[in-house]
């Protein structure tokens, strides 16, 4: 998958899709991909994180951060 290979645009777009773009909403999934895209320098992802965070519960944020950490361990 392009996102796993470091393609920042794919990571950002997965975040958009996970917020309900044709699929069920998955805010933790969106947050995960925007954390990764932001780490690769995507400024739009940083903005999206700030917009999405108030809509999420603390449990979902912690889960997304854990998933991002797991992703880094597998793909760095």
pLDDT tens, residue by residue, 32-71: 989 999 999 999 999 999 999 999 999 999 999 999 999 9
Q: Give pLDDT, residue 64.
A: 93
Rounding to the nearest 10 degrees, give the CA dihedral for residues 13, 16, 21, 27.
130
The pLDDT of residue 20: 75
> 47-51: which pairs have CB atoms within 8 A and are 24 or more residues apart?
48/12, 48/15, 48/16
Higher pLDDT, 47 or 18: 47
Q: How far apart are CA 49 and CA 34, in angstroms?
A: 6
């Amino acid at each position: 998958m392009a996102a796993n290979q470091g393609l920042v645009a794919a990571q950002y777009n997965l975040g958009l899709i996970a917020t309900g773009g044709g699929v069920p909403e998955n805010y933790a999934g969106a947050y995960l991909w925007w954390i990764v895209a932001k780490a690769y320098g995507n400024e739009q992802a940083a903005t999206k994180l700030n917009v999405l965070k108030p809509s999420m519960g603390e449990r979902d944020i912690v889960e997304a951060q854990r998933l991002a950490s797991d992703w880094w361990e597998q793909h760095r």
